[in-house]
Amino acid sequence: MNSFIERIIQLFSPKPESVQGNRTMITKLMRMISMTEEVEYSCDDVFDLIDQYTEIIARGEDAEHMMPLIKHHLDMCTDCREEYESLFSIISSLPA
């Protein structure tokens, strides 16, 4: 795969100083493409269910098994993952 990435970088990197930044971006993009599923949730779908997902995690239950599309989306989407982490931090700090 590196030779494929190298060819893409050459196409989009006319300036040598931009190669490393493009390499990182293209590698991340290729990883995301390779993880694409036939059925996926949008950010809006995840936002509607993230509180339930977070509560399942906080209870120590297997949320990945119970809500695999949420887990997959969080693995792919930095914004939603940050939202989840913030919510989890709040829920974790509440007294039991």
Question: Do 48 and 75 fall within a single domain?
Answer: yes
Q: What is the pLDDT of residues 76-86, one digit of tens each?
A: 888 999 999 99
The angle, 0 to 180 degrees and rounded to 10, between the axes of the packed helices 78-93 and 43-58 is 30
Q: What is the pLDDT of residues 41-59, one digit of tens each?
A: 899 999 999 999 999 999 9
Question: Do 49 and 69 fall within a single domain?
Answer: yes
Question: Do 57 and 83 fall within a single domain?
Answer: yes
Question: Do 51 and 89 fall within a single domain?
Answer: yes
| Structure-model confidence comparison of residues 5 and 90, the more confident one | 90
CB 45 within 8 A of CB 71: no
CB 71 within 8 A of CB 52: no
The structure's pTM equals 0.62
**Structural domain boundaries enclosing 64:** 43-93
Question: Do 57 and 79 fall within a single domain?
Answer: yes
In this structure, of 31-40, 60-69, 81-90, the range with the lowest mean pLDDT score is: 31-40
Q: What's the total number of domains in the chain?
A: 2
